[in-house]
Amino acid sequence: MAEEAEQDPGVAAPDRQGTPGARLRAAREAQGLSIQDVASRTRIAQRQLEAIERDDYAALPGIPYAVGFARAYARAIDVDEVAIAADVRNAVHNSDLGANRYEAFEPADPARVPSRLLAWTAAAIVVILVAGFAVWRTQLLTPPTGEEIAAQQAAPAPTAAKPATGAAPVVPVVQTVVFTANDDVWLRIYDEAGERLKDGLMKKGETFTLPANARNPMILTGRPQALTVTVGGKAIAPLGAPDRTISDVPVSAEALLARPAPAPVAAASPARAPASTSAPASTSTQRRTGAPASVSPVPASPAAAPAPEPALPAPAPAAGN
């Protein structure tokens, strides 16, 4: 009997050592790993790994979790995961977790049950929403009566407002601003934030198109006469006097269009006839001979000529001859 008593603990020990949890724990300790190390490798909570080592499968959410956690545990410490999973599956089915367990009904907490007033309020809201939807649907599907149709036909149709001139409405068009260098010129074009849109030397014949989204663009240059500016193809007056530095001059399409148009080049007028054409021929002769043009013979007026002396009467014949 004493020998049998001594053998009983030895018989029970192999049974405990043969469980999946015991084998996993022994393999972990043989490798010098802690339960925290296995939790870091498998990303499984430490308490659930401890439950697997204790073969306490009831502490796990269910059979699939018990088998999956055990398989991941075995894989992390290089143990045969297939054998461990099979052993865990058999152990779970033979435990209380695999049997149909009856869960007693627990009454709800009275503090969590909604009050009667809240329930009636929710029911009233639902009724109002359903009634409103029914009324809207009825109005939508009800055909109009004859009176309503007649009233709609009698109402004057709204007419779109037209411009006073009768022309089609003018759609604003984005005007393109183009700078063309008619000679080598240095310039800087920048916006209101100081961002440089164009900075450097423009060669003769080079063009630059101002971005349409530029905000209040301005120009700085020392030779405004070397630039030809157009807005929508329309020439703009020079931006400044020749060889005079200009800065902070707005060059947006609106600002350029507000500038006065360039003065048209006057056509060569025919030369006026010289004043001497109406003068006597003697005046032309004097000009050819070098006489001053301002000196011209003035015909003597009758008043300026000396009066002729009066004729004396003839002497009377002597008497007696």
CATH label of the domain that carries residue 25: 1.10.260.40
Q: Is the pLDDT of residue 175 over 60?
A: yes
Whose tokens are 């992390």? That residue is: 76
Question: Where does residue 200 rank: exposed (0-12), middle (13-18), buried (19+ CB within 10 A)?
Answer: exposed
Domain count, the chain: 2
* Residue 21 structural domain: 14-93
306 compared with 206, residue with greater pLDDT: 206
Work out the angle at residue 194's Cα, subtended by the Cα atoms of residues 190 and 195, and round it to the nearest 5 degrees. 65
**DSSP secondary-structure letter at 303?**
T
User: Percent of the chain beyond pLDDT 70?
Assistant: 62
For residue range 218-251, what is the model confidence (pLDDT) as tens digits? 999 999 999 999 998 888 888 889 989 998 899 9
Pick the last residue of a domain from 48, 73, 93. Answer: 93
Instruction: Provide the 10 A C-beta neighbour count for residue 46.
Output: 13
Spell out the residues 6+ positions from residue 61 whose beta carbon is closer than 8 angstroms to its own. Answer: none
Assess contact for 261 and 237: CB atoms under 8 A.
Answer: yes
- Residue 250 lies inside a defined structural domain of this protein: yes
- Residue 139 lies inside a defined structural domain of this protein: no
- Residue 151 lies inside a defined structural domain of this protein: no
Q: Is 198 helix (H, G, I), strand (E, B) or coil?
A: strand
Most confident of 226-235, 272-281, 293-302: 226-235
Q: Is the pLDDT of residue 5 over 60?
A: no
Pick the last residue of a domain from 215, 241, 257. Answer: 257
146 compared with 58, residue with greater pLDDT: 58
- Residue 19 lies inside a defined structural domain of this protein: yes
Q: Which amino acid is at 280?
A: P
Pick the last residue of a domain from 237, 257, 277. Answer: 257
**DSSP secondary-structure letter at 53?**
H
- Residue 287 lies inside a defined structural domain of this protein: no
